[in-house]
Amino acid sequence: EIVLTQSPGTLSLSPGEGATLSCRASHSISSNHLAWYQLKPGQAPRLFIYGASSRAAGIADRFSGSGSGKDFTLTISRLEPEDFAVYYCQQYATPPVTFGQGTKLELK
């Protein structure tokens, strides 16, 4: 199965700053079948990005996804207070679907 490694494990930033989250795959991910999710305690996980760079419905344009092959990035241009959460990447190119271990975006 494809192993996804996210970095950093924790990112400490302030509102208004930009954030860059990385997701690296053990094997190339075909068709850019990579998604990003946001998880907050007590809430349903939320899809943010699919197809490596397509924003899901209702997601602000300060969120952008990029990358191909083995290296993917989630970029948040200007952090808002509600953005502080854990973000997971997921590959769905090769079954079984697998997830990274998550990046915790915390308030500095």
Partner 1 sequence: QVPLVQSGTEVKKPGASVKMSCKASAYTFTNYYIHWLRLAPGRGLEWVGKIDFHAGNTIYAQSFQGRVTITRDSSTSSVYMELTSLTFDDMATYYCARVKWELPPYFDYWGQGTRLTVSS
Residues forming contacts to partner 1 in the complex (CB under 8 A) are 31, 33, 35, 37, 39, 42-47, 50-51, 56, 88, 90, 92-93, 95-102
Phi, psi values for residue 24, rounded to 5° = -115, 135
- Rank residues 13 and 56 by Cβ distance to partner 1 and give the closer one: 56
β 10-13/98-99 pair status: unpaired
Distance of CA 27 to CAs 1, 38, 48, Å? 9, 24, 23
Q: Which two tokens stand for residue 97?
A: 């679907």
Please report how close the Cβ of residue 44 comes to partner 1 at its closest, in angstroms.
4
- Rank residues 73 and 99 by Cβ distance to partner 1 and give the closer one: 99
Please report how close the Cβ of residue 16 comes to partner 1 at its closest, in angstroms.
29
- Rank residues 8 and 51 by Cβ distance to partner 1 and give the closer one: 51
Please report how close the Cβ of residue 46 comes to partner 1 at its closest, in angstroms.
7
What is residue 42's three-state secondary structure?
Answer: coil
Q: For 72-85, give the DSSP string.
A: EEEEESS--GGG-S
Please report how close the Cβ of residue 19 comes to partner 1 at its closest, in angstroms.
20
